[in-house]
């Protein structure tokens, strides 16, 4: 079987490449106010509200975090403070990659240009990218696109900037809800799901599953 060699490999950043530690941030802020079962519910709600906040019109990611955290606290009967949201937001650019990422990316980058499409702010994303240990051809943000994933407009912006068609790329993400469902609907046939345990498998959307980025070179025959 011939191995697909894309013009670009495009990536979600936070969660897929960067160890996205929103749950840990929530634990640090509120873990002493609730038992473990309640904390897990809080973390689940915080994740759901962040998604809900990005499916409307674009707004700064600080507002996404603020609103999602405020709504989560309200739902769970926890006092919310504006400074808590600011502390969580300011942690984002300090986070580094999952342990498997630098070596896997470096192998692929020697042969295929790498691109990031991130639900991020311009002022923060390059701090994360600089920790990935591999060169990137381009980094595109929701701020530039004027839309967060899963909006199609974010993906369309990336494709327009790259000057390529959906069939020319391989898109790699750990999330169906943010990335792979939209990629499927837009005709991006070549997809990789990095199974980081964030979401259950969903074979309907047609992808190659890998456990981590160390397996990505094999997907493209490297």
Sequential DSSP letters for 32-65? GGS-HHHHHHHHHHHHHHHHHHHTSS---HHHHH
CB 183 within 8 Å of CB 155: yes
pLDDT tens track for 154-184: 999 999 999 999 999 999 999 999 999 999 9
Q: Are strands 169-173 and 138-141 parallel, antiparallel or unpaired?
A: unpaired
Torsion from C-alpha of 188, 149, 90, 50, nearest 10 degrees: -130
Burial of 32 (0-12, 13-18, 19+ CB in 10 A): exposed
- In 3D space, the residue among 6, 5, 8, 14 whose CA is nearest the CA of residue 132 turns out to be 14
pTM to 2 decimals? 0.95
Return the pLDDT at 189: 96
Interacting residues of 145 by C-beta distance below 8 A, sequence separation 6+: 58, 153, 154, 157, 158
User: Which residues of the chain carry a pLDDT beneath 50?
Assistant: 1
Contact, 43 vs 75, CB < 8 A? no
- Residue 201 region by backbone torsions, left for phi larger than 0, else alpha for psi between -120 and 50, else beta: beta
- The whole-number pLDDT of residue 41 equals 97
Token pair in block for residue 33: 């106010």
Distance set, CA 76 to CA 25, 73, 140 (Å): 16, 5, 35
Select from 107, 116, 95 the least CA-distant residue to 11.
116
Please, what is the Cα angle at 174 between 86 and 141, to 5 degrees?
50
- The pLDDT assigned to 4 comes to 82
């Amino acid at each position: 079987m011939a191995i697909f060699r894309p013009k670009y490999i495009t990536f979600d950043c936070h969660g897929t490449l960067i160890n996205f530690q929103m749950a840990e941030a929530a634990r640090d802020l509120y873990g002493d106010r609730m038992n473990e079962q309640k904390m897990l519910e809080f973390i689940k709600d915080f994740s759901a509200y962040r998604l809900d906040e990005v499916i409307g019109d674009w707004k700064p990611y600080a507002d996404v975090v603020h609103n999602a955290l405020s709504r989560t606290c309200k739902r769970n009967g926890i006092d919310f403070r504006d400074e808590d949201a600011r502390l969580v937001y300011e942690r984002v650019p300090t986070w580094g990659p999952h342990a498997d990422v630098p070596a896997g990316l470096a192998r692929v980058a020697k042969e295929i240009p790498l691109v990031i499409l991130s639900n991020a702010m311009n002022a923060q994303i390059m701090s994360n990218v600089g920790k990935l240990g591999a060169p990137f051809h381009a980094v595109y943000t929701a701020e530039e696109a004027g839309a967060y994933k899963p909006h199609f407009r974010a993906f369309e912006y990336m494709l327009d900037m790259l000057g390529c068609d959906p069939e020319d790329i391989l898109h790699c993400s750990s999330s169906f809800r943010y990335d792979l469902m939209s990629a499927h609907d837009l005709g991006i046939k070549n997809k990789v799901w990095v199974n980081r345990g964030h979401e259950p498998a969903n074979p309907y959307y047609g992808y190659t599953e890998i456990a981590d980025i160390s397996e990505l070179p094999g997907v493209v025959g490297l």
